[in-house]
Amino acid sequence: MTIVGARPQFVKAKPVSDALAAAGLPELLVHTGQHYDDAMSGAIFRDLGLREADLDLGVGSGSHGAQTAAMLAGLEEVILDRRPAAVVVFGDTNSTVAGALAAAKLHVPVAHVEAGLRSHNRRMPEELNRIATDHLSDACLAPTASAMEDLAREGLDARSHLVGDVMVDMLRAVDLEGVAVPEWSGEPFVLATIHRAENTDDPDRLRSILEALAGMPLPVRLLAHPRLPAVAERLGLTALLEGGSLELHEPVPYSVMLALVTRSAAVVTDSGGLQKEAFLLGATCTTVRDETEWPETFEGDANRLATPWAVDDFSAVVLRGRSPVAGEPFGDGRAGARCVEVVERLLA
Ligand code: UD1
């Protein structure tokens, strides 16, 4: 049983789903319903070629406690009913921790794809979800050597496996030349996404980020997660969502996002996945956070942590150059198959 719920998990689930099929292991794909808008879920499934979920719990949005509790109750019922031999969870969302906890309490072996990543910022919900999930899991499937080190520091080395990053598998499978991109990508632009609670929910931080983007010397195309306009309205900051260089756009499917990264002058984001995608596709990334779970992306100045309130010239940081990077810190594109090998060992 594989459990997904939020947009980045669909990307991670596809290579594992393909590898399960290749190994002849039947998969029950369960969607918690954490993301439900077509742009956040259905469109991403179709773009990835991920088959429709077998079950959708339809949990939807809510406070952390209410949302996670609804998932926990729903997933427990499914596990009791379907009796999976193992459960696989992905990444760091509320759907991840709910799936791991529901399964572990019912003594079903749990494998966590993307284990061991740490920001060391315990104020982030994702950090708490990752720590809890890793400690609940029977197999911690780590994408990087630094994730393996963090798992070892927490005493989890005996159940940790370095498999590589499943997002590399997915990225390599996309034919970037064949992707239809928006018309606006023909001229130089900065590609931006901002959705983390630590940035959106703090009015001072959000104001500072939006003003910095509006002041960039190139058009900034901000592909907005629905959370952003919702929070901006609540905080009375809607007027800052457009103006100057800043333009708001709808979220785009995965393959379009990759194609836009390759065409962009630079990327500004607080997403974990996009930092890596920029790194792998040769784009320069600025991460609007104080820490990252992906320190490998710093190589060649491909990624830099910078917030508009802490640097003198944010535009200059964003539009700096980067060097090409040798090596494969995120693996060789065969992580999905390795994840499934570990799952097979759990089943045995
Ligand atoms: C979640 C993950 C985050 C991940 C992100 C990717 C947690 C704690 N966080 O954050 O790690 O980076 O997904 O996108 O699980 N909303 C909609 N439509 C949707 C989904 C959400 O309008 O389909 C809006 C709602 O206002 C909702 C808000 O977005 O309250 C936040 O959604 P939620 O699922 O709580 O967290 P994300 O911000 O998406």
Atom of ligand 1 nearest to the CA of 227: 29
Query: Which residues does ligand 1 sit against, CB inside 6 Å?
Result: 6-8, 34-37, 40, 61, 92-94, 125-126, 195, 225-227, 230
Which residue's CA is minimally distant from atom 13 of ligand 1? 6
Mapped onto helix, strand or coil, the DSSP state of residue 184 is helix
pLDDT in tens, 291-327: 999 999 999 999 999 999 999 999 999 999 999 999 9
Q: 246 near 220, Cβ under 8 Å?
A: yes
pLDDT at 117: 98
pLDDT at 207: 97
Distance CA 88, CA 340 (A): 10
| 271 contacts: CB under 8 Å, gap ≥ 6 | 8, 193, 195, 196
Q: Give residue 257 CA to ligand 1 midpoint distance, Å.
A: 18
Regarding pTM above 0.95, the answer is yes
Q: 275 near 297, Cβ under 8 Å?
A: yes
pLDDT in tens, 250-298: 999 999 999 999 999 999 999 999 999 999 999 999 999 999 999 999 9
Q: Give residue 180 CA to ligand 1 midpoint distance, Å.
A: 26
9, 35, 123, best to mutate for ligand 1 pocket (most atoms within 8 Å of CB): 35
Distance CA 150, CA 156 (A): 9
